[in-house]
Every structure is written in structure tokens, then in C-alpha cells.
Amino acid sequence: QVQLQESGPGLVKPSETLSLTCIVSGGSISSYYWSWIRQPAGKGLEWIGRIYTSGNTNYNPSLKSRVTMSVDTSKNQFSLRLSSVTAADTAVYYCARAACTGGSCYNDYWGQGTLVTVSS
């Protein structure tokens, strides 16, 4: 059973960089896409981006200038960096596995989510 666990600071100051890591267990990180999705309190899901194990990425156009994703296959983990954060970036951040082939792309395994608050 594949399991994902997010880790990182729960509090980030405005204008600084949010950094999160997702550790994958119970399966190999290879040959899949890996996503980051966030959810502000009381609101819907927002797709942040995905990374393939080769390093190929797709980012949400509204966040693209501030987002960087990376993958470390030797550690079975992948990471998110979001720069120049503001209060609007306060949300629960989820990592998820994305099973993508052709026109099919769905998130079949999710982490439990981690709350990141942007505040001074």
C-alpha cells in the first residue's frame, strides 16, 4: 500500500519561501507523476503542479513564477518550493501520486495534508 507523508514548517513569514517534502513509502517513486494540491480553509482544491520522476514538470499558470518542484528518487521523495508567499498562500497542502497516461490523469494516493500558515 503506497503511503505519502508531507513534512515541513507549519509557519512561514510573508515574502519568504515555503518548502515542503513528501516521502513516499510502500512503493517506488519511479515511473509516476507526483502532484502538489492545496486547499485554503473552507475552500476547494487547487492544483499546484506535478513532477515526473525524470524531472519533467507542469505548473499551475497562476503560480508558475513562484513554484519549483524537485524529485529525489534515491530517497523516494519529492519537494515543493513556493517563493514570495503571502497570506493568500495559507492552506492545507497535499501531496499525491498522479497516475497519468495520455488523456487520463488522476490522483490515486494522497498524503494526509499539512497546514501551512503564512504570518509574521
Name the site residues for other proteins (rule: CB under 8 A). 35, 37, 44-47, 49-50, 58-61, 94, 98-100, 103-108, 110-113
**b/e per residue 44-70 (b: at least 16 CB within 10 A):** eeebbbbbbbeeebbbeeebeeebbbe
Output 5 or 19, the one with its CB closest to other proteins.
5
Output 15 or 117, the one with its CB closest to other proteins.
117
- Residue 58 C-beta: closest distance to other proteins, Å: 5
- Three cell numbers written together for 9: 514548517
Closest CA to 3 of 114, 108, 119: 108
Output 43 or 74, the one with its CB closest to other proteins.
43
